[in-house]
Chains A and B, each alone.
Chain A
Amino acid sequence: MQSTSRSFKQNAHHALQDATLQRALGNIKTGFQEKRRQVIAALPEFEALRDAGRDIKNHTLANLDFYLERFEERVTEAGGVVHWCRTPAEARQTILEICRRRNARTVTKGKSMIAEEIGLNEFLEANAIEPVETDLGEYIIQLRHEPPSHIIAPAIHVTREQIADDFRRHHSDLDPNRRLEEPRDFTDEARAKLRDRYFQADVGITGANFLIAETGSTVIVTNEGNGDMTQLLGKAHVVVASLEKVVPTLDDAATILRLLARSATGQEMSVYTTFSTGPRRPGDLDGPEEFHVVLLDNGRSAMLGTEFQEMLRCIRCAACMNHCPVYAAVGGHAYGWVYPGPMGAVLTPSLIGVEEAGHLPNASTFCGRCESVCPMRIPLPKMMRHYRTREYERGLAPGTVRAGLSLWSFLATRPSLYRFVTGMAAWTLGALGRRAGRFKSLPMAGGWTGVRDLPAPEGRTFHTLWAERQGAERRGSGGTGR
């Protein structure tokens, strides 16, 4: 996927002007946040589970090579194939070859952010293979030719009215006066439309929430059952997953599953949690004839051993973006690549470079809400700060910022000079602003006064007044300092 992260500011500007988008984003607070709050309040051991989840992932990442090789052994034993892919291009080519061997004309797809990361749909289309998205949200944005704007609710930026319009336009064979208002209406219609596609599909492609080393299983969690249809009805099942999805055991997956749905949608568990181990065995009633795991690195192994390793604990629950005030203001598309919100602000520069995605770790107030809800206790603000440091060290920060900081630091390390300058500033601004109490505009402060007033200072600095009070007390007159 081509990044527009360099244009984050312009993207954000357009998002803030887009009244329809703003209406759609309004639902996050009442939906995800409130549901998560309730389900976690009902689970006293949630904090202990977070520790356990973090520890499982830390252990796995410290032994990643071991667990990935173990996983491959088990997949092979079950009759499947693991394809190690360093780059998106390798992953795309691998998937294309599997499709070609099966003479595939259509493939069904479950929801997969890794498929977005490698730009799979465009690539398959360019090779005369039709990808059919089966997750409702993905189906909607495929009709709209848009990328997802959220990692678990890809069409969260679309309103119901827009979905109804899209469905009427694309499903022109149906009664134009049918009811299309509730989520149920959309689900039913998409389900009916997709039914035949599952049977036509030559290959089914899904993502994976976990890869289990001890069994060679892949796990998907869904609420629509579309993933199961995708992986069972195609003649070949291709799992596309990034390498940090591996966990050692089924028990480990069970522990993290208790965190995942609660943090994501506020459910105790998703409706479907499906474990897939190898292709159909002799005697099995159903299942695919082939089972492939396309294991993508794409820069992740380079994060190991760096200050960004902890990011690889991420289980893609989206709690960080669901609670991020910046995400809530601008939505996911503004971030300009596959992963939005706080996790995207760390993962995107890690995968496509801080030169390309430098805005993202800067576009945060460090309010810390993301870290406070992250089930894997990923210190997201800390890692965003690491990227800011990296940008500063590489000279990527804007010249005005660097000059301003140099001046400020020059003063802040020279207390006497600092007192003099702040005393002058307080006096001047205090005198100019006393009558109104605030400035509606001020030279050099347009960033502030463009959108809000600047309150005027009281007029004298604390240190000046304190020195006077101390002087008065020394002279024995007491004094209150005011």
Chain B
Amino acid sequence: MPGSGPRVGLFVTCLVDLYRPTVGFAAVKLLEDAGCTVEVPATQTCCGQPAYNSGDMADTRAVARGVIDAFEGFDYVVAPSGSCAGMIHEHYPKLFADEPETAQRAQHLAKRTHELVSFLVDVLNVERVDAAFPGTVTYHDSCSGLRELQVKTQPRRLLGTVEGLSLTELPSAEICCGFGGTFCVKYPEISDKMVTEKARDVSATGAGTLLAGDLGCLLNMSGKLSRLGSGTKVRHVAEVLAGMADGPAIGEPGRE
């Protein structure tokens, strides 16, 4: 019943936009099922982390201004990513120390911005989802969501209501997969060591599918698992929660 609840601006994230629109539509479905009116501002691009984490503050501010403009006026802004939501929530207010007016707008946006799954559970009090997924999954806690936004129990709570799904915990779930944005291409050997260990731990759980809430980490882990010849499928948690996990998993051949 869209329309009765809050008006939510979906921050799609640049990776979901480019790589895996399914995740965006899964987010829309979950939000609409929870009663939200979802809008997708057409002028959004990226949250600015590539520049921010490279120390390029001028470009970070330029990109952040675009996001602040695009998401003016929504009750909430929601992203299917702890990393991008964390960027807006934690870091935007600090970017504009010399511009009080923009800083205030950034602060206002930051307060309204949430990661998707924690928004469903903590703000909308969603207790269950209407989805089925036969099989065993394991879950990786992406760093920004975990440590900047305290996303930990929420995905597990909702996954617990997915029919047919059983969750085997990943022992190293809180250890970084080695993605780290530009880190993974600036220091590929170190990143490789980290993601190799992650892939080994994922395989050791015996789960058929690996889930997480951030597409960057998922692309990294999927890429390593397939390079190692593992059959573990990799998906964004929103796909499973929305009942939209019937298409090819990340890195699987597409349907012609």
- Give the B-binding residues of A (Cβ under 8 A): 9, 12-13, 16, 325-326, 329-330, 362-369, 371-372, 385, 387-393, 397, 401-402, 405-406, 408-409, 411-413, 415, 418, 422, 425-426, 430, 433-438, 440, 445, 447-463, 465-467, 480-482
B195 neighbours in A (Cβ, 8 Å): 451-452
- Interface of B: prevailing SS: helix
Query: Contacts A408-B50, A425-B18; is A455 near B144 (CB within 8 Å)?
Result: no
B256 neighbours in A (Cβ, 8 Å): 434
Interface string of B172-187 (1 = CB under 8 A from A): 0011101111111111
Q: Which residue among B12, B25, B44, B189 has the maximum number of chain A CB atoms within 10 Å of its CB?
A: B189
Q: Which residue among B18, B147, B219 has the maximum number of chain A CB atoms within 10 Å of its CB?
A: B18
Are A458 and B184 closer than 8 Å at their CB atoms?
Answer: no
B250 neighbours in A (Cβ, 8 Å): 455
Chain A's nearest CB lies how many Å from the CB of B157? 22
Total number of B residues with any Cβ neighbor in A under 8 Å: 70
Instruction: Sample 30 A-B pairs with CB under 8 A, ordered by A number.
Output: A12-B189, A12-B190, A16-B193, A326-B194, A362-B183, A363-B183, A365-B143, A365-B179, A365-B194, A367-B143, A367-B180, A369-B147, A385-B53, A387-B55, A405-B59, A409-B56, A413-B62, A415-B42, A426-B18, A435-B253, A447-B184, A447-B188, A451-B227, A452-B223, A452-B226, A455-B226, A457-B19, A460-B21, A463-B42, A465-B25
Are B66 and A368 closer than 8 Å at their CB atoms?
Answer: no
Query: Contacts A369-B143, A412-B45, A461-B17; is A434 near B254 (CB within 8 Å)?
Result: yes
Instruction: Write the chain B residue with the least CB distance to A459.
Output: B254
B16 CB within 8 Å of chain A: yes
Query: Contacts A368-B144, A372-B147, A458-B19; is A415 near B178 (CB within 8 Å)?
Result: no
Instruction: Write the chain A residue with the least CB distance to B17.
Output: A462
Are B12 and A462 closer than 8 Å at their CB atoms?
Answer: yes
Are A436 and B253 closer than 8 Å at their CB atoms?
Answer: yes
Query: Contacts A422-B18, A465-B21; is A397 near B187 (CB within 8 Å)?
Result: no
CA distance A292 to B59 in the complex (A): 52
Chain A's nearest CB lies how many Å from the CB of B226? 5
User: Which of B18, B40, B63, B186 makes the CB contact (< 8 A) with A409?
Assistant: B63
Chain A's nearest CB lies how many Å from the CB of B2? 11
CA distance A452 to B198 in the complex (A): 13
CA distance A192 to B203 in the complex (A): 48
Are A389 and B254 closer than 8 Å at their CB atoms?
Answer: no
B51 CB within 8 Å of chain A: yes
Are B17 and A463 closer than 8 Å at their CB atoms?
Answer: yes
Are B253 and A454 closer than 8 Å at their CB atoms?
Answer: no
| Those 6 A-B pairs whose CB atoms lie nearest each other, nearest first | A365-B180, A447-B185, A388-B55, A452-B223, A392-B55, A455-B251
User: Which of B25, B62, B148, B227 makes the CB contact (< 8 A) with A452?
Assistant: B227
Instruction: Write the chain A residue with the least CB distance to B196.
Output: A451
Chain A's nearest CB lies how many Å from the CB of B71? 13
Q: Which residue among B12, B50, B190 has the maximum number of chain A CB atoms within 10 Å of its CB?
A: B190
Interface string of B25-59 (1 = CB under 8 A from A): 10010000000000010111110101111111101
Chain A's nearest CB lies how many Å from the CB of B214? 12
A456 neighbours in B (Cβ, 8 Å): 251, 254
Are A411 and B45 closer than 8 Å at their CB atoms?
Answer: yes
B20 CB within 8 Å of chain A: yes
Are B189 and A13 closer than 8 Å at their CB atoms?
Answer: yes
In B226-255, which residues have CB < 8 Å from any A CB?
Answer: 226-227, 248, 250-254
Are B143 and A451 closer than 8 Å at their CB atoms?
Answer: no
Query: Contacts A435-B253, A481-B25; is A451 near B192 (CB within 8 Å)?
Result: yes
Are A455 and B223 closer than 8 Å at their CB atoms?
Answer: yes
User: Which of A366, A415, A462 makes the CB contact (< 8 A) with B43?
Assistant: A415
CA distance A177 to B90 in the complex (A): 61
Are A438 and B62 closer than 8 Å at their CB atoms?
Answer: no
- Give the A-binding residues of B (Cβ under 8 A): 12, 14, 16-22, 24-25, 28, 40, 42-46, 48, 50-57, 59, 62-63, 66, 143-144, 147-148, 174-176, 178-195, 219-220, 222-224, 226-227, 248, 250-254, 256
CA distance A329 to B252 in the complex (A): 29
User: Which of B40, B184, B194 makes the CB contact (< 8 A) with A448?
Assistant: B184
Are A458 and B21 closer than 8 Å at their CB atoms?
Answer: yes
A426 neighbours in B (Cβ, 8 Å): 18-19
Extra A-B contacts (19), CB below 8 Å, given A9-B189, A440-B227: A325-B194, A362-B187, A365-B194, A366-B181, A368-B148, A401-B54, A411-B45, A413-B62, A413-B63, A437-B226, A437-B248, A438-B223, A438-B226, A451-B195, A455-B219, A461-B17, A461-B21, A462-B12, A466-B21
Are A367 and B63 closer than 8 Å at their CB atoms?
Answer: no
B48 neighbours in A (Cβ, 8 Å): 412
A329 neighbours in B (Cβ, 8 Å): 190, 193-194
A408 neighbours in B (Cβ, 8 Å): 46, 50-51, 59
Are A397 and B54 closer than 8 Å at their CB atoms?
Answer: yes
CA distance A449 to B224 in the complex (A): 9
Are B25 and A409 closer than 8 Å at their CB atoms?
Answer: no
Chain B's nearest CB lies how many Å from the CB of A419? 8
Instruction: Write the chain B residue with the least CB distance to A368.
Output: B147
Instruction: Write the chain A residue with the least CB distance to B143.
Output: A367
CA distance A418 to B62 in the complex (A): 14
Are B46 and A412 closer than 8 Å at their CB atoms?
Answer: yes
Are B188 and A366 closer than 8 Å at their CB atoms?
Answer: no
Query: Contacts A329-B193, A369-B147; is A422 near B223 (CB within 8 Å)?
Result: no
Instruction: Write the chain B residue with the least CB distance to A425.
Output: B18
Chain B's nearest CB lies how many Å from the CB of A411? 7
CA distance A436 to B222 in the complex (A): 14
B40 neighbours in A (Cβ, 8 Å): 462-463, 466
Instruction: Write the chain B residue with the least CB distance to A330.
Output: B190
Are A455 and B25 closer than 8 Å at their CB atoms?
Answer: no
Are A16 and B223 closer than 8 Å at their CB atoms?
Answer: no
Instruction: Write the chain A residue with the least CB distance to B146.
Output: A368
